[in-house]
Amino acid sequence: MGTKPAHWSTRVAEGFQDEDVAAVYHRRPPYPAEAIDQLLALANGGPVLDLGCGPGDIARRIAPHVERVDAVDFSTAMVARGKQLPGGDHVAIHWQVAAAEHAEFHPLYSLATAGESLHWMDWDVVLPRLGGTTLAIVERDWGGSSVLRKALLPLWQRYSSVRDFQPYDLIEELTSRGLFTVLGERQCEPVPWQPTIEEYLDARHSQRGFARTHMGEADAAEFDHAVTNTLHQLATTGDLTTDGDRLELTAGARITWGKPATPRLSAH
């Protein structure tokens, strides 16, 4: 068991506090309806804790169907943006600006969710705080076809402001540390996602490594130009389908649920 990857550090995560990132985060593809349905089945109508909720991509969609959603994020900008988006003012959502390590929880929860967020947190602190509540870890997949991934990978490597990125498997990292026991998994079928190139670029800029603030104006503009050219080239060769000015892409998700580690009792 190695150390936690450096690119998951709190220092890197602080990039999500930038207003520029929060302003474009909604450009990411929505979670498939199948993923939301699975979360609702796990919650069974009870109260839900949404860890690292961002602008509420999960919280805003499950709120009408559960008793309460405590939506927690350490970014003031993300929470403010979430309140402005459709469903963000639902009476069942209780927004809280706080790090998950110190946020005020209100157990008992029927379910805790973490959508593309748990990797940023201090697992040894956060997971035991859940008190054995079932945790659903949700990951989006919007990388595209193997051809698209291969064509764009050199650009990701060249322009990312996170220079120490390493391939990882979050579930493996957690289970190998004895912090999470997997009870089930669901791979959701990809659904159509049709962004314009501008919207696609915004979605990429919502990622920490490509946040405009951290890339700098010149690199961000160069990145946009390079990605746009690559997408046009793939469309010309027939490796990327378009519908007018919209890209024909897909977005899927994987949900892994299980039991987090419980607090260790001190020996006396």
Q: For residues 91 and 26, is the Cβ–Cβ distance under 8 A?
A: no
Q: How many domains does the chain have?
A: 1
β-strand 135-141 against 242-243: which pairing, if any? unpaired
Q: What are the backbone angles phi and psi of residue 71, rounded to the nearest 5°? A: -100, 110
Longest dimension (CA), the chain: 70
In a domain, 63, yes or no: yes
In a domain, 56, yes or no: yes
Q: Give the pLDDT confidence score for residue 266 in this predicted structure.
A: 42
* E-strand stretches of 102-213: 111-115, 135-141, 180-193
Integer Cα distance of 127 and 9 in angstroms:
17
With respect to residue 66, please indicate whether it lies within any of the assigned structural domains: yes
CATH number for the domain spanning 72: value is: 3.40.50.150
Q: pLDDT tens, position by position, for the chain (268 residues)? A: 456 666 555 655 555 667 888 999 999 999 999 999 999 999 999 999 999 999 999 999 999 999 999 999 999 999 999 999 999 999 999 999 999 999 999 989 999 999 999 988 999 999 999 998 999 999 999 999 999 999 999 999 999 887 766 778 899 999 999 999 999 999 999 999 999 999 999 999 998 889 898 889 999 999 999 999 999 999 999 999 999 999 999 999 999 999 998 865 444 3
Residue 217 structural domain: 6-260
For residue 222, give the H/E element and its range.
helix 217-237
Residue 266 counted as domain residue? no
CA distances from 145 to 2, 64, 224 (A): 31, 34, 20
In a domain, 225, yes or no: yes
> Is 149 within a domain?
yes
241 occurs within a structural domain: yes
Instruction: Judge whether 267 lies within some domain.
Output: no
The 10 Å Cβ neighbour count of residue 46 is 13
